[in-house]
């Protein structure tokens, strides 16, 4: 490939000639960006260095008798003192490749100008020209202007490179967390990591039919498109500084929880905008959220008859005190429910009522009871009463599973009008001890009742 659209990275600190489009000899692959090159007028995108051209090399469809053009690096200005002829050509070529208005990619293609300079130069030179649609072709520049343009170009290039900061150091905060290897410019797991599996065994042979060759070329085109997507994602990561873990973590800690939640919801739009536009977008959303929150506070004040800021301050202080008292009351209710459950468990554990053999007691002493399950962050815990939360924690049952057990037992009780312990065990296929404790808990809470024993059944039992 003759023309390489260089992807600028954080460790691209080089001289001015290495910025933007680079040209290589298609035979010896030497860099001929800053020197005279020979461009074939018949073959598409084919360049040779002077040495290979003088030796009359032939490669592929190129023959040494093809028409050619001698291309030099034209640094002299033709339309603007700060723009060389080579930069003018690169700008027009970039607009043909990336489209009108894509000034960021056009600036990367030119290499020595930023996007604002590219846009302003195109408008001043081509759009606002007196001879539109052509630029003014009658300008004349002195030889000193060429030297000034070269010095300015090198200065602008160094400034453009410095925008990307220092190269990443091989520190855990920069690459080990994300699996990035700076020396190889790769991640341990790349985007579409299995893309190479489809091309690693492809071989072009003389015996291939045209259909097979076309199929292989299509596979390579698909692979190249995947590589382009991979490079786009890497470029996004480097330009946004996403590998600087400590800096990003410090910035997140400065924001409130509501702001962090809002940013996480809008991250999907970051790839559709530049870094500056995305920051403006976030600032606007955060400002809107703050205004909505403030409006809601003022509306609450108005509903409660508050008309001054002094009254609002007193209201907020009293509101905070009420919330604190409510939390304290809830904690006391939870403690009382725990005490009631402890008393209930003490009354309904028959093992402690009868003395056990000495050996059994020794085994029980050495056996550590299971720790209660922490269900404060579990799904559905807010649907349970404090007493239900306590028994779920003691029996190590998740709230959702408990709700299913509760619904099953209550439905069966509503259908039969009564429910035996044995029937509850048959319904709930879990540990029978847990089922018995849940059954006793429901009776204690008054949700179900055991079958009433009739006098006749009692008499028959005593008779037999």
- Cα pseudo-dihedral 337, 339, 344, 350, rounded to 10: 150
Same domain, 260 and 231: no
Q: What is the pLDDT of residue 286?
A: 92
What CATH number is given to the structural domain containing 56? Answer: 3.30.60.90
Asked whether residue 230 is assigned to any structural domain, the reply reads yes
Q: How many CB atoms lie within 10 A of CB 413?
A: 17
Total domains present in the chain: 4
Q: What is the pLDDT of residue 289?
A: 92
Say whether 53 sits in a helix, a strand or coil: helix
Same domain, 231 and 273: no
Asked whether residue 99 is assigned to any structural domain, the reply reads no
Block means of pLDDT (10 residues each) for the chain, 464 residues, are: 41 42 79 81 86 84 85 74 79 83 83 83 80 73 54 51 49 58 81 86 87 91 92 88 82 87 89 89 92 92 89 87 76 63 57 43 50 82 87 88 88 85 85 88 86 52 44
Report DSSP state, residue 38: E
Asked whether residue 90 is assigned to any structural domain, the reply reads no
Alpha-carbon distance of 276 to 283, in angstroms, equals 11
Q: What is the pLDDT of residue 456?
A: 42
For helices 386-395 and 432-445, give the axis angle rounded to 10 degrees: 170
DSSP bridge partners of 71: 37
DSSP bridge partners of 205: none
Q: What is the pLDDT of residue 337?
A: 63
What CATH number is given to the structural domain containing 407? Answer: 1.10.10.10
Same domain, 389 and 420: yes
Please report which residue ranges of 241-385 form alpha helices under DSSP H. 245-254, 257-266, 275-303, 309-347, 358-366
Alpha-carbon distance of 146 to 144, in angstroms, equals 5
Residue numbers of the domain that contains 60 = 18-71
Residue pair 23/175 in contact (Cβ under 8 Å)? The answer is: no
Alpha-carbon distance of 332 to 329, in angstroms, equals 5
Which residues, including other chains, have CB under 8 Å from residue 52's CB and lie 6 or more apart? Answer: 25, 27, 28
Same domain, 230 and 269: no
Asked whether residue 92 is assigned to any structural domain, the reply reads no
Q: In the numeric block, which tokens belong to residue 405?
A: 């057990």
Asked whether residue 25 is assigned to any structural domain, the reply reads yes
Asked whether residue 104 is assigned to any structural domain, the reply reads no
| pLDDT tens sequence across 76-107 | 777 777 787 778 878 888 888 888 888 888 88
Q: What is the pLDDT of residue 18?
A: 44
Q: What is the pLDDT of residue 59?
A: 82
Single residue among 71, 86, 112 that ends a domain in this structure: 71
Q: Counting every residue, how long is the chain?
A: 464
Asked whether residue 11 is assigned to any structural domain, the reply reads no
Same domain, 269 and 224: no
Same domain, 226 and 270: no
| pLDDT tens sequence across 106-164 | 888 887 788 888 888 888 888 877 777 777 777 766 655 555 455 555 545 555 445 44
What are the φ/ψ torsions at residue 20 (nearest 5 degrees)? 85, -145
Asked whether residue 205 is assigned to any structural domain, the reply reads yes
Q: What is the pLDDT of residue 217?
A: 92
Residue 105, judged by CB atoms within 10 A of its CB (0-12, 13-18, 19+), counts as middle
């Amino acid at each position: 490939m003759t023309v390489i659209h260089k992807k600028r990275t954080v460790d691209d600190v080089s001289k001015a000639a290495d910025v933007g489009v680079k040209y290589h000899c298609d035979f010896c692959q030497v860099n001929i960006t800053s020197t005279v090159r020979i461009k074939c007028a018949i073959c598409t995108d084919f360049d040779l260095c002077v040495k290979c051209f003088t030796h009359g090399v032939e490669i592929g469809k190129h023959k040494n008798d093809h028409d050619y053009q001698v291309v030099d690096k034209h640094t002299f200005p033709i339309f603007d003192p700060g723009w060389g002829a080579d930069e003018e050509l690169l700008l027009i070529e970039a607009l043909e490749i990336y489209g009108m208005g894509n000034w960021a990619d056009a600036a990367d293609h030119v290499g020595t100008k930023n996007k604002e300079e590219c846009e302003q130069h195109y408008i001043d030179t081509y759009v606002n020209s007196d001879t539109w649609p052509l630029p003014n072709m009658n300008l004349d520049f002195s030889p000193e202007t060429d030297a000034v343009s070269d010095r300015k170009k090198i200065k602008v290039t160094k400034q453009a490179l410095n925008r990307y900061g220092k190269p990443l150091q091989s520190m855990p905060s920069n690459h080990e967390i994300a699996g990035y290897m700076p020396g190889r410019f790769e991640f341990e797991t790349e985007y579409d990591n299995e893309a190479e599996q489809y091309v690693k065994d492809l071989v072009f042979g003389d015996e291939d039919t045209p259909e097979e060759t076309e199929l292989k070329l299509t596979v390579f085109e698909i692979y190249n498109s995947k590589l382009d997507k991979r490079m786009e994602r890497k470029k996004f990561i480097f330009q946004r500084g996403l590998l600087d873990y400590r800096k990003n973590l410090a910035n997140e800690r400065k924001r409130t929880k509501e702001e962090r939640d809002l940013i996480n919801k809008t991250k999907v739009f970051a790839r559709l905008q530049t870094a500056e536009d995305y920051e403006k977008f976030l600032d606007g959303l955060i400002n809107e959220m703050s205004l909505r929150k403030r409006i809601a506070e003022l509306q609450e004040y108005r509903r409660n008859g508050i008309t001054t800021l002094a009254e609002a301050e007193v209201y907020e202080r009293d509101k905070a005190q009420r919330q604190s008292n409510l939390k304290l009351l809830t904690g006391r209710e939870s403690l009382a429910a725990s005490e009631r459950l402890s008393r209930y468990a003490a009354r309904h554990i028959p093992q402690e009522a009868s003395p056990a053999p000495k050996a059994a007691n020794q085994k029980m002493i050495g056996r550590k009871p299971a720790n209660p399950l922490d269900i404060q962050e579990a799904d559905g815990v807010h649907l349970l009463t404090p007493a239900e939360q306590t028994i779920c924690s003691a029996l190590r049952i998740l709230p959702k599973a408990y709700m299913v057990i509760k619904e099953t037992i209550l439905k069966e009780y509503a259908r039969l009008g009564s429910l035996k312990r044995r029937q509850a065990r048959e319904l709930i296929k879990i540990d029978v001890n847990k089922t018995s404790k849940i059954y006793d808990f429901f009776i204690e809470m008054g949700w179900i009742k055991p079958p009433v024993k009739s006098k006749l059944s009692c008499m028959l039992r005593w008779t037999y």
